[in-house]
Amino acid sequence: MSNRQTLTSALTWVIKIGSSLLTDNGKGLNRDNIASWAGQIAALRQEGIHVVLVSSGAVAEGVLRLGLKGRPSAIHDQQAAAAVGQMGLIQAYESAFQKYDLHTAQVLLTHDDLSNRKRYLNARTTLKTLLDLGVIPVINENDTVVTDEICFGDNDTLAGLVSNLINADAMVILTDQDGLFDADPRNNADAGLVEEAHCNDDSLFDYAGTGHGELGRGGMLTKIRAARLAARSGTVTCIANGRTEDILQLLRAGETNGTLLLPESGPLAARKQWLASHLKVKGTLVLDAGAVKVLNSSGKSLLPVGIKSCSGHFLRGDVVSCVDEDGNSVARGLINYDSEETEKLLGQSSDEIITLLGYDGDHEIIHRDNLVLQ
């Protein structure tokens, strides 16, 4: 299978759309473009593909609605513009997707939501549930209430983090350029499109330059960095021109459009490396023989009934090690309960969780998506 065919086989897409495409270079929301992307995403949904949409444009739309001359520099003015613009942006998406009987959901995130262990798992569960229900989550950075992120954040980076969050197969960044060039095509007629590269190739940063639009905060540099973030979960990234007719269908068909950036390793290897190398183990669970057999043979989630004991002090979202009764390493993963709650659940049926804890939490101690065998 060619590398281009990875998009053909991808079942979960994160699609990021930039401000210049959404606002027609600051002249208001381009509803024709939004309608076109909604139709293309609806076609992907009919093929069984899950789609998360990361959308810029709130501040730009707010600038237009408020009659400002351009993107304000003061943070409180940016926040006000974001609050006003978010209304129009989401309204436009809701109307566009309603034509295809698709529901949308507004999700506002900050980078902190994806670095805090508990909020990471909560956000992941919410997005997974929305996708299972056939909903199109429309994600934007929560510019209205944050301060640090609005100064250095960008939705390219947010898209990369969301790709990690849901283990996306593909991240498509739609921009107003055909992709990444080896020189600036605006002033170099010999500039060539980089059709394919590994995202860890440092020469990509030399190609990217520093240019960005007036209304957006990103440029090619942020897109390269976002691709590297997404690659931590084995996600393939494609940077493509959002103005190309039926661009999403072309990419789905494996057509050569845009710049394809490949991770160094596949999804399982990338996630295993992340869990094994980047997160510190905070506790240990001792599993009975039945649980060990189930994990090794079927790849199912770890349930409380199969746990004999636990040690260490850990919080929801921490990494814990799973061992057999002889102390041999079996797996590790992100746990759904803290150490005190886990103690109460040892050896119990998942049906007893609400009785033992007083609330109906996750039925799994560690979900299979957050568990890697060793």
Alpha helices for the chain (secondary structure H): 5-9, 19-22, 31-46, 58-65, 75-98, 111-115, 117-132, 148-152, 155-166, 203-208, 220-231, 247-252, 267-273, 289-298, 339-345, 353-357
When pLDDT is cut at 50, 70 and 90, the band that residue 337 belongs to is: very high
When pLDDT is averaged across residues 324-340 and rounded to a whole number, the result is 92
SS3 assignment, position 47: coil
- C-alpha 221/C-alpha 209 separation (Å) is 7
How is 297-331 classified by DSSP, letter by letter?
Answer: HH-PPBPGGGEEEEES---TT-EEEEE-TT--EEE
- C-alpha 15/C-alpha 215 separation (Å) is 19
- C-alpha 185/C-alpha 173 separation (Å) is 19
Based on the number of CB atoms within 10 Å of its own CB, is 10 exposed (0-12), middle (13-18) or buried (19 or more)?
A: buried
User: What are the φ and ψ backbone dihedral angles of 341, each rounded to 5 degrees?
Assistant: -65, -40
- C-alpha 71/C-alpha 145 separation (Å) is 17
Residue carrying the six token digits 């003015």: 77
Average the pLDDT over each of 31-35, 196-200, 319-323 and give the range with the smallest value: 196-200
Can you read off the two tokens belonging to residue 343? 């103690």
pLDDT at 165: 87
* Domains along the sequence of the chain with CATH: 5-270 (3.40.1160.10), 279-373 (2.30.130.10)
- C-alpha 12/C-alpha 291 separation (Å) is 29
Q: pLDDT digit string (tens) for 163-222? A: 988 989 999 999 988 998 887 777 777 888 888 999 888 888 888 764 444 444 447 888
